[in-house]
C-alpha cells in the first residue's frame, strides 16, 4: 500500500482521507474537555486510516493547541476563515499567518455561511485560498449549490463556476482541498442520493484536472452536509470522496468518533 493511501473498511482510497470538524460559532473554554475525550477515543481506535482535523472558533485555538501538542494522537487544527491580507486595518479579521502562528495547518474558506452572511464572492474566496497557501496553510475551499439551484437542475453548472472562480489556478494539488457541501444538506439532516454525490465528485475531479492538470488527481475532495455516524460509511465509500467536512456531529467527541470509526480497521 502506498503511504498516502487510506483504508475504508477494506476499500483502498487513492488519497489519504481527511475528516474535518467545523465547530462554527460554538464552544467556550470548557469545550477543551471534548478534545481531551476525542484524543482518548482516537487512541482506542486501531489503525486510523484518515487524518483528523478540528476547526474551532478562533477564540479556542490556543487552548486547543496546548492540549493537542501534548497529546499522543496526531490531531490537526484549522481556522474557519482568514482574511486575504497578511495584516492591516481590518478590524475583527484574522490573517492566515495568525492562524499558522497559533498552530493551525488548515483553514476553511468560502463556507456557504461565509458566502451568504458576509457576501463572499468566488474572487474573495480565491484570494483567501492564495493567502492561506502563502502562509503555509492548506485551504479547504467549499463549494455547493443551494436548494433552488438543485431543483432547477443547475448543480453541476453552479459547482463548476464556483471551482473555476475559487481555486487558485497556479496551486499544486497537494496544496488545497475541496469540500463539496450542498447548501440544502448543511444542518438539515438531508443528504443527497449516493448517485448524486458520486456524479458531483466525479465532475469536480474532472474539473480540477482541467484547472490544475495532474495535481487535480491528487487533491482530496471532501463531502459535507449532515454527515453522521449512521450515514458516514455509505458516503465515504463513494468514489472520489476523500473524507468529510462535519458540522454538528463534530461538536461532541462521541459523535465525531462514530464518524471516524469508518476509517478504522
The number of C-alpha atoms within 13 Å of 172 and in the hemisphere containing its C-beta is 6
Q: Which is nearer to ligand PEP, 21 or 168 (CB)?
A: 21
Per the CB < 8 A criterion, the answer to whether 18 and 54 are in contact is: no
111 part of the active site: yes
Stretch that binds ligand PEP, among 123-131, 164-172, 221-229, 234-242 (CB under 6 A): 221-229
Q: Name the helix (H) or strand (E) containing 79.
A: strand 75-79
Instruction: Name the active-site residue from 34, 113, 181, 207.
Output: 181
Contact with ligand PEP (CB under 6 A) among 227, 241, 253, 260: 227
CB 221 within 8 A of CB 180: yes
Interaction of residue 110 with ligand PEP, rule CB under 6 A:
no
Contact with ligand PEP (CB under 6 A): which of 49, 224, 236, 260? 224
Which residue of the set 34, 111, 145, 207 is catalytic? 111
219 in contact with ligand PEP (CB under 6 A): no
Shortest Cβ 19–ligand PEP spacing (Å): 11
Closest CA to 127 of 69, 180, 85: 85
CB 224 within 8 A of CB 179: yes
Q: What is the DSSP letter of 82?
A: -
Calpha distance 70→73 (Å, rounded)? 9
- Binding test (CB under 6 A) with ligand PEP, winner from 15, 162, 248, 256: 248
- List the catalytic residues: 111, 181
Binding residues for ligand PEP (CB under 6 A): 22, 181, 186-187, 224-227, 245-249
Amino acid at each position: 500500500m502506498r503511504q498516502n493511501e487510506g483504508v475504508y473498511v477494506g476499500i483502498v482510497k487513492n488519497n489519504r482521507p481527511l475528516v474535518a470538524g467545523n465547530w462554527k460559532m460554538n464552544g467556550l473554554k470548557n469545550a477543551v474537555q471534548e478534545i481531551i475525550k476525542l484524543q482518548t477515543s482516537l487512541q482506542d481506535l486501531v489503525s486510523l486510516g484518515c487524518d483528523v482535523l478540528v476547526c474551532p472558533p478562533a477564540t479556542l485555538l490556543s487552548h486547543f493547541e496546548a492540549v493537542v501538542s501534548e497529546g499522543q494522537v496526531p490531531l490537526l487544527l484549522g481556522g474557519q476563515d482568514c482574511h486575504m491580507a497578511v495584516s492591516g486595518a481590518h478590524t475583527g479579521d484574522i490573517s492566515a499567518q495568525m492562524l499558522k502562528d497559533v498552530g493551525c495547518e488548515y483553514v476553511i474558506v468560502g463556507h456557504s455561511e461565509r458566502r451568504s452572511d458576509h457576501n463572499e464572492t468566488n474572487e474573495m474566496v480565491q484570494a483567501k485560498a492564495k493567502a492561506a497557501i502563502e502562509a503555509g496553510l492548506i485551504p479547504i475551499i467549499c463549494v455547493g449549490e443551494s436548494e433552488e439551484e438543485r431543483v432547477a437542475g443547475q448543480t453541476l453548472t453552479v459547482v463548476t463556476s464556483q471551482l473555476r472562480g475559487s481555486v487558485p489556478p497556479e496551486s499544486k494539488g497537494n496544496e488545497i482541498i475541496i469540500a463539496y457541501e450542498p447548501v440544502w444538506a448543511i444542518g438539515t439532516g438531508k443528504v443527497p442520493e449516493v448517485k448524486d454525490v458520486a456524479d458531483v465528485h466525479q465532475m469536480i475531479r474532472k474539473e480540477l484536472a482541467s484547472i490544475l492538470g495532474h495535481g487535480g488527481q491528487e487533491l482530496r475532495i471532501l463531502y459535507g452536509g449532515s454527515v453522521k455516524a449512521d450515514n458516514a460509511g455509505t458516503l465515504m465509500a463513494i468514489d472520489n470522496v476523500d473524507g468529510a467536512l462535519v458540522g454538528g456531529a463534530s461538536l461532541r467527541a462521541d459523535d465525531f468518533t462514530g464518524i471516524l470509526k469508518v476509517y478504522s480497521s
